Amino acid sequence: MLTKQGIGDNSNNNTQIIAEKVTLETDYMQVREIVKDTFEMNFLKYKPEIQEIIDKRLEEFNGSLIRKIKEECITDLSEFKNPDFLYNLYEAQKTCVRLGDKDQEDVLTSLLLERFNEKTNTLKQIILNEALQVIPKLTKKHINILTLLFILKETQNRNIDTFQKFCKYLESLIPFFEENIDHKPLDIQHLEFTGCGQQGLTSYNLLACCKAYYLEAFVKERANISASDLEKIKKLLIHFTRGINNQLKKSSRDFSDYCKILGEDNKRVEELIDTYQEKIMSDEEILKKTIEICPGFESFYKNWDKSGLKSFKLSSVGKAVGLINANAKKSLTSCNYNLDLWIS
């Protein structure tokens, strides 16, 4: 039922809320002017037909940035008075006006939003500043490669605890992976040149990493393993088996380190390795079963195995770009990754 608002404390509160909203909208209008002026006072003027393209691209970029700030319900807009932020804003505007690429616009505005919220001179702020400078040097394909590597090497979907869920997750990623796995050696060299990562000496064993992150999904049918044992085996897999030739074995030269990592004696660690070898699918079994349910994985796996990407290690800047682009592609993983977890 609708009732009239009486005069009193609630009325005063409503008046205050309205006043705050008006003030905030006024602040946003001022910010919009600052954003516009930042570009127009620094960029060259061109002939009308060229200027029209520039103005349209600038308006789209500025509108996207302001919209994202509003969606975050940000009230502290003081960063728009910070010369360092305004410098990065102008550089991002130049990139979007020059290239007119919608995907780059999404990544740049999202990076700027992260940078906007990092108001002190921290390592995270420095990484974000560098990422903003790198974007103009990357193609859409390069940015997607960084996202592919970030998702594969740096993330774990904690909702996956069955083989069916694992395959369903793969099915959602395979089209994007297949589209971007193909590359030239020059692409890797360029990503190194831009500071997004470097070619390492150790290759990334795709199946071993899947097994380490999603061990519960690969328990053999009718095999019983306690949650405690699964966690301990997973810990060993994450520490020791993600390299291309590493296996979990009693005869491994790392066996003494197994014991140290788990804080267990030799006999107990040997029991865990026996459990792993008897009750967890082998790499061959995982590959065969996965291809049966998710046929697209076969070609991706073969392409990955001969790809230079398997030994490419992302830098902090590469992780930031890959993460922001992953978040922009909502349909890819349905996740919203928190940058602080990777670069703090």
Q: Is it the case that residue 19 has pLDDT exceeding 50?
A: no
Give the Å distances, CA to CA, from 41 to 8, 92, 321. Answer: 49, 15, 29
Which of the 8 DSSP states describes residue 4? P
78-92 tens-digit pLDDT:
888 899 999 999 999
In sequence order, the 6+-apart residues with CB closer than 8 A to the CB of 72 are 113, 117
- Burial degree of 150 (CB within 10 A; 0-12, 13-18, 19+): buried
Average pLDDT of the segment spanning 134-143: 95
pTM of the model: 0.84
Q: For a pLDDT cut of 90, what percent of the chain falls above it? A: 56
Give the mean pLDDT of the chain. Answer: 86
| H/E run at residue 199 | strand 197-199
Q: For a pLDDT cut of 70, what percent of the chain falls above it? A: 91
